[in-house]
């Protein structure tokens, strides 16, 4: 049936509004970045109750000529769900609203252990936003990523010469590591039960090791990292810091926890002495920077198969998520090495455990927020790396192509899932 003139006009206006909303979506992100840089979430939190606009303006480190603009900034942030308003008086003459935090803005507080502020500031840094202006150019050239088109080198190469990139990535990964650690010790207890000692290789300041040590009273953790990294860090009776070189020696332990530079560790040919017991390898972060990026991953393949019971790939956001950073071909190579490491005896408990994202199959008219986040992250992988997010069917193909026989996917971490893969 033909549309009436009124229907056409409504359709036209709705279509225009839809386009405009997408054109201006970046304003939401940049407004939120501004609020964080000005310290608005922390100022409202410290106020302890609904905060009037006048008091918020007085507390902000801004030029007095910009005071009237704060209301406009807060209005868009309230609309976006980062703050809420509460009436402070029923008197019409004194009617004024006060601002309160929402569950989302509580994750932006400086002292929030699971704060996502470092990740937000990393993703909105000009270094990482610049590649988005080169996507159409990238589609027409032979560069692996738009990041390479924009900066003339891969993100790994760029990071070697730009300390700021490394800094904000490390901060972002540390904040996510706290969330991953919290879920691991709560929902993946079986991985650590029965262990008495664990070495966190390249463990930095010990974010994950601390969480594991606190959760398991009988487990003593050691963090091994470069001397300048652990210098000055104070250990406890359950957590010890050791300065050293993972290429030369790794302290003996029941289990080895790997969080950074996995390829570097195996390239050096160093293995922890686990005394003939079960080997649990927990990879939470990985960096395959050049010149190791083209090397074959070995994944403790030189250990006796009978010693290796379980290999765990537990991944974080950004550059440290393992499989979603890489193409299908590269992932299959990694998975094959994992299969070699855990052997072929499913009955004895050998399995590969991955914490990563499973993208749901999109249906027409489906506007689920988590689905949109997954699709946005998939685009991010295309822009910064050569990887992708995967559906269950795509995961299954990788597993079977790598020689695995079965798998099970269990959602445990918001958008991420626990994936158990069996030989």
Write out the catalytic residue numbers: 324
Angle at 40 between CA 38 and CA 46, to 5 degrees: 125
Rounded CA gap, 172 and 316, in Å? 10
Nearest-CA neighbor of 313 among 291, 337, 330, 295?
A: 337
Rounded CA gap, 339 and 422, in Å? 9
Rounded CA gap, 354 and 342, in Å? 14
Is 98 in contact with 86 (CB distance < 8 Å)? yes
């Amino acid at each position: 049936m033909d549309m009436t003139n009124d229907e056409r006009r409504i359709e036209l206006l709705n279509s225009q509004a839809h386009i405009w909303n997408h054109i201006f979506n970046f304003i939401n992100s940049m407004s939120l970045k501004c609020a964080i840089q000005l310290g608005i979430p922390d100022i409202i939190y410290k106020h302890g109750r609904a905060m009037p606009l006048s008091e918020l303006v007085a507390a902000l480190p801004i030029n007095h000529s910009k005071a009237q603009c704060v209301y406009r900034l807060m209005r868009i942030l309230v609309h976006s769900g980062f703050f809420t308003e509460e009436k402070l008086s029923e008197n019409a003459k004194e009617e004024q609203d006060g601002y309160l935090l929402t569950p989302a803005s509580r994750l932006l507080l400086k002292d929030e252990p699971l704060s996502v502020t470092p990740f937000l500031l990393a993703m909105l840094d000009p270094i990482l936003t610049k590649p988005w202006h080169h996507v159409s150019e990238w589609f027409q050239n032979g560069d692996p990523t738009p990041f390479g088109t924009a900066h003339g080198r891969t993100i790994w190469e760029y990071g070697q010469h730009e300390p700021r990139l490394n800094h904000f990535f490390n901060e972002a990964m540390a904040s996510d590591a706290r969330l991953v650690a919290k879920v691991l010790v709560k929902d993946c207890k079986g991985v650590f039960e029965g262990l008495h000692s664990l070495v966190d290789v390249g463990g930095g300041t010990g974010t994950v090791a601390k969480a594991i040590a606190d959760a398991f009273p009988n487990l003593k953790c050691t963090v091994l990292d470069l001397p300048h990294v652990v210098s000055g860090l104070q250990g406890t009776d359950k957590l010890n810091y050791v300065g050293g070189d993972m290429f030369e020696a790794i302290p003996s332990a029941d289990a080895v926890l790997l969080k950074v530079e996995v390829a570097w560790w195996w390239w050096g040919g160093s293995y922890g002495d686990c005394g003939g017991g079960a080997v649990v390898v927990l990879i939470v972060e990985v960096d395959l920077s050049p010149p190791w990026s083209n090397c074959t991953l070995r994944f403790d393949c030189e250990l006796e198969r009978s010693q290796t019971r379980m290999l765990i790939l537990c991944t974080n956001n950004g550059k440290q998520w393992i499989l979603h950073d890489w193409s299908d071909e590269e992932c299959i190579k990694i998975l094959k090495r994992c299969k070699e490491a855990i052997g072929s005896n499913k009955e004895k408990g050998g399995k590969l455990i991955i914490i990563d994202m499973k993208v749901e199959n999109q249906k027409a008219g489906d506007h689920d927020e988590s689905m949109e986040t997954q699709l946005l992250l998939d685009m991010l992988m295309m822009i910064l790396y050569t990887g992708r997010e995967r559906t269950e069917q795509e995961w299954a193909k990788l597993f079977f192509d790598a020689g695995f026989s079965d798998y099970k996917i269990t959602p445990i971490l918001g958008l991420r899932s626990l994936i158990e893969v069996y030989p």
